[in-house]
Amino acid sequence: MADLMKWFDTRRSPMDVLERLFEGDTSASGIRVEESVEGNTLVVRADVPGVDPDKDISVSIVDGSLEIKAERREKSEQKDKNSYRSEFRYGSFVRRVALPEGVKQDDITASYKDGVLEVRTPVPTKTEQPPGKKIEISRD
């Protein structure tokens, strides 16, 4: 568990830092996510309201990261007797979250409810390394 928490605290790559620098406030320019560890499961919740998960959301593994893509298309119209107003809001958003080493794509599950996409993956346990052993130096 300690290895998992260490990974969880230090998994940010330089690309994550650059993306955050250029994105600014992710609520305006991207997908907001919440990451947590529940037992030995990494849980990523993404805020993607107002989309059809069957058509507008894609979840995949790219270069050891979880990639969430969403596309939002909204249209509102107001028709009055003497006027007509139409507004469109649309855009594509991508968010990547680093995954622990050894995660298998077949073990990842995703569900969508009430505007929140939840992705779960078991975190592989690292095989225990035997404790270090001192090697004696012989003299000839």
- Structure-token match 């007509």, residue found: 84
Cα 139 from Cα 46, distance rounded (Å): 62
CATH architecture under which domain 2-122 falls: Sandwich (2.60)
pLDDT of 86: 80
Condensed to tens digits (0 to 9), the pLDDT of residues 80-138 reads 888 888 877 778 889 999 998 888 889 999 999 999 999 999 988 876 666 778 888 88
Residue range 3-23: mean pLDDT, rounded: 53
Condensed to tens digits (0 to 9), the pLDDT of residues 19-63 reads 555 544 444 447 899 999 999 999 999 999 888 899 999 999 998
Query: What is the percent of the chain where pLDDT is above 90?
Result: 36
pLDDT of 47: 93
Compute CA distances 106 → 4, 109, 121, whole Å. 20, 8, 9
Cα 87 from Cα 77, distance rounded (Å): 7
pLDDT of 24: 44
